[in-house]
Copies of this chain bind each other. A is one copy, B any other.
């Protein structure tokens, strides 16, 4: 059933409307009336004959006309009954403003569940409970109690916090940001982010969606409903609870058991949504996206009439690990021909403190036409010779003339009084304007990231790799171990599984009898380890010998570890001796997976070794990995640059081969949802050589699935 009944109703009943101005039931009715809504409005309250000049009804049953939407403002305990009435009356949608749901504890949670089950029975879709309502500016419908009507625009807002919903809208009015839809989700007992995004994506007057999010309750649903819309539209999400401290506060606030924050980031990225750290940045991006095209690359120019802010801008680009673009010779010659000799002769393009509006225009024109530049951050400081207003006019005219060049220009106009008229002129123009160079640079980089992510999701390749061993046999291994009651797999078993998925391991043999050794295809040096479930700290008891350089040494090492083990624990169950090829140099990586209660199976990749938690150079993804997201998983780590270039005596890694390993690993997870945790550390990489050297797996009987992005 369409959500149009809810968000584009022809008629609305307000259940709990009242004449008392201090009550929410008054405020919401008044906002609807004052907003200029043209549909029918039915206040429902048995105590009154009329409210705010409208006839009041004893109950919804009393309303003899069709009602599309019911807004419920009564105490939450009464809501289940009201829902039954709605159902009987055939009302298809509701907004439950009432607080007292799961945010207040167990009892509230039960009422919420009751409301939901009644709604399901009658096919009623609803927002809330514990929400501020919503706004549809096209219909002049202000069905909320926290905010006055915002400007019309083509941006939609979804907020999980009512208070922030009100603050954002109040702020947006002073910032000239217009909206088509504004939705306060409340507790999302029924409608949650995914379906709302899905719905808004069908609307012509929704060009982008801003979201303030605290937590997702059902990541599977979120991904399923939102993925197609996020492929098309910019979706900018400010998610709180980034840090442990914030997460703790968020949990106490919403009663939600939030998933791991870094998985939100990974999930947004995989969908193609942009995460913005602050509400301010979300606004800045809204201005950028609504006014200017996205940059198609990250080769940026800085155009400035002052050196200092040029340096600050280059610094800010540096924060994102981006250098200002190198100017081509042709661009340089063109700039040189129109600028005074003292110009910076490089990027930032400093056209000096005495720059006239004409000079600014000319320099900007050259940069717009320069093929090596993807986007331009302009800076104007009010100096003695500067004419801010005239410069702004020249710039706006030029950009209009050159509008077929799809290249963004964001304008940072510094100062206060002296640039007021220029700013207010620019605000009405199609140029995104910022008070500081830092804001302009951040937006430019994130606009590029938006382009980059959309490109990743829309041009991705999903190919399940060929495996040597057929699927049935691949899958049988884990199931067999589980059926034997195995939960923690040894290094040897872990490597056996990896090999079934064609993930290379260093040569590893489990030897039971000494005689077997001579027939093995061994590459020295090797490490010799006792294999026994009863001996945990092998090194301490002399159960590890290393390096072993010859058959002779190996044979005596075999005896030695067995003797040491027997001395230590005479009744130990000795399964044999492990002989592992020793991989000397190479990058030590980690490749692993775990499960999150919200996001399910996820993949970890990055710098490995003993200090893995300390170095904290890992990135996260979801199985199965696609070509683009396997690549991004690597690129999102710092060690990627070393892998690409090599480091001292370690040659550059074969990144294509590594990518294939990541993809194979991800399908191993998909085919074996019983893998609760796996850690390969180190995954040794040097040149073409990739070896899983050490690892462990934890299994569980599970039916949980991975998220499905494609």
Contacts and interface: CB of A to CB of B under 8 A. Distances in A.
Contacts of A317: 243, 245-246
Interface string A221-253: 000000000000000000011111110111011
Interface in A622-645: 638-639, 642
A415 B171 contact: yes
Nearest to A547: B547
A: contact size bracket:
35 or more
Nearest to A170: B415
A532 interface: no
A381 interface: yes
B170 A318 contact: no
Contacts of A708: none
B246 A312 contact: yes
Interface in A342-382: 342, 344-346, 348, 350, 353, 381-382
Given A279-B436, A614-B647, A311 B250 contact: yes
Contacts of A308: 159-161, 163-164, 212, 214, 240, 253
A170 B160 CA distance: 39
A356 B259 CA distance: 34
A240 B307 CA distance: 11
A322 B249 CA distance: 13
Interface in A530-586: none
Nearest to A148: B417
Nearest to A278: B438
A654 B639 CA distance: 32
Contact of A240 (B250, B312, B418): B312
A204 interface: no
B104 A342 contact: yes
Contacts of A212: 308
A525 B162 CA distance: 67
Interface stretch (A7-15, A64-72, A172-180, A685-693): A172-180
Nearest to A585: B610
B417 A245 contact: no
Most-contacted residue by chain B among A170, A240, A246, A317 (CB, 10 A): A246
B309 A167 contact: yes
Given A384-B24, A648-B610, A241 B311 contact: yes
Interface of A: 22, 24, 27, 104, 145-146, 148, 159-164, 166-167, 170-175, 212, 214, 240-246, 248-250, 252-254, 278-280, 302, 305-319, 322-324, 342, 344-346, 348, 350, 353, 381-385, 414-419, 435-436, 438, 610-611, 614-615, 638-639, 642, 647-648
